[in-house]
Amino acid sequence: QSALTQPASVSGSPGQSITISCTGTNNDIGTYNYVSWYQQHPGKVPKLLIYDVDNRPSGVSNRFSGSKSGSTASLTISGLQAEDEADYYCCSYTSTVPYLFGTGTKVTVL
């Protein structure tokens, strides 16, 4: 099964809001509410930002929020900051693999 589809890059100015999409199928995002999001700075370990579509672990800034519509999940970063420049990956439980990551999105703060 192919990776979930994310835009290769998204950019925004400080203070703006950006949204990263993660598109799957009825085998994954379309059926299950088990989408998580991870932030990875260069050379660093992925960090959990969102779990089960829209839940934020303690310690994660409330500038990060998640949602889902149909087979597409989204991560929104509000009040964009320089420290948000990183790669972002979605992940979904699936009926086949059973965990599938997205292709990854590089966020650039202009």
Partner 1 sequence: QVQLQESGPGLVKPSQTLSLSCSVSGVSISSGTFFWNWIRQPAGKGLEWIGRIYTSGITSYNPSLKSRVTISLDTSKNQFSLKLNSVTAADTAVYYCARLSIAPRHKGGWFDPWGPGTLVTVSS
Point out which residues bind partner 1 (CB under 8 A): 1, 3, 32-36, 38, 45-46, 48, 51-52, 57, 89, 91-93, 96-104
What are residue 65's phi and psi, to 5 degrees?
-145, 150
Report strand pairing: 47-50 vs 99-101.
unpaired
Which residue, 16 or 66, is less far from partner 1 as judged by CB? 66
Which residue, 14 or 57, is less far from partner 1 as judged by CB? 57
Question: From the CB of 30, what's the least distance to partner 1, in Å?
Answer: 13
Residue 103 contacts by C-beta under 8 Å, 6 or more apart in sequence? 3, 4, 5, 6, 8
Which residue, 17 or 44, is less far from partner 1 as judged by CB? 44
